[in-house]
Amino acid sequence: MRRAISVIGGTGPAGTGLALRWARAGETVIIGSRDAARAQQTAETIRQRAGANAQVSGLENSAACAASDLLVLTVPFEGQAALLKQLKPAMRAGSVLIDATVPLAASVGGRASRTLGVWQGSAAQQAAELVPKGVSVAAAFQNASAEQLNGDADLDCDVIVCSDDPGATQVTMELAAKIAGVRAIDGGKLENARIVEQITALLIGLNLRHKGHSGIRITGLPDGAYKVSLLHNR
């Protein structure tokens, strides 16, 4: 991949962890934040961890959005809709928005091991309703542990990618497979994000109960299911 990846809300634990992994894989990453100074600070921290050649910079969210057509959204559910409305003018047709949002009940003061019902079916489907025409949404990375992403060990989990646009699925699977230890799986249509988002709440419950940083692996599929065909060379 040659184009930059803009991680919107990239100063939170999930966004920082993903950015760190991509920076280590040699990708150019832009951290987006409400506060440009904070974005630059996080970018500097990631550069220090990822090595001298790491390509990481920090920008205010809208600027980060305008700077790339490959966007990764890692914000708490309570901020998702408002942020997408704000970013709408900065998104270009042809862009891919990868949404990692999970509608945890914690967003409204409930438990992180429970989810809210989202009218559209999932946070990712809500995102799809809020992006401009011509922007494709893929749902992914909801189940990857932020703690594991921010560590140094290879991850031990699969990333299920859901999208109605095969091109967006492809790009997202490529990005997932760049994280050491992760296998990317095509999870079908965007509507299936309903289930993948729920799994995060289950994993949070398991983490609380068993004191871990859990993830999931899918077993029983042929090897081909995990293969990312590198059709795109951007």
Applying CB under 8 A, which residues contact its own copies?
Answer: 113-114, 145, 148, 156-157, 160, 185-188, 191-192, 194-196, 198-199, 201-203, 205-207, 209-222, 224-225
CA dihedral 88, 91, 93, 97 (to 10 degrees): -100
Residue number with CB closer to its own copies (71 or 144): 144
CB of 151 to its own copies, least distance (A): 11
For the bound state, the minimum distance from the C-beta of residue 227 to its own copies, rounded and expressed in Å, comes to 10
**Strand ranges (DSSP E) for 34-86?**
55-60, 70-73
- Residue 225 beta carbon to its own copies: minimum distance, rounded to whole angstroms: 4
Closer residue to its own copies, CB minimum distance, 133 or 210: 210
32 versus 103: smaller Cβ distance to its own copies: 103
Question: Is the Cβ–Cβ distance between 79 and 53 less than 8 Å?
Answer: no
Q: In the structure encoding, which two tokens stand for residue 141, read together?
A: 């990375």
The tokens of 138 are what? Answer: 């893929």
**Smaller CB distance to its own copies: residue 55 or 207?**
207
Tokens found for residue 156: 């031990």
Convert 9-23 to b/e letters by CB count within 10 Å (16 or more is b). bbbbebbbbbbbbbb
Cβ-based nearer residue to its own copies, 11 or 122: 122
Query: How far apart are CB 118 and its own copies at their closest, in Å?
Result: 13
Distance in Å, CB of 160 to its own copies, minimum:
8
Q: Which residues of 170-195 are buried (b: 16+ CB within 10 A; e: fewer)?
A: bbbbbbbbbbeebbbbbbeebbbbbe
Task: Considering only CA atoms, give the Rg of the chain.
Answer: 16
Least Å from the CB of residue 143 to its own copies: 10
- Smaller CB separation from its own copies, 128 or 204: 204
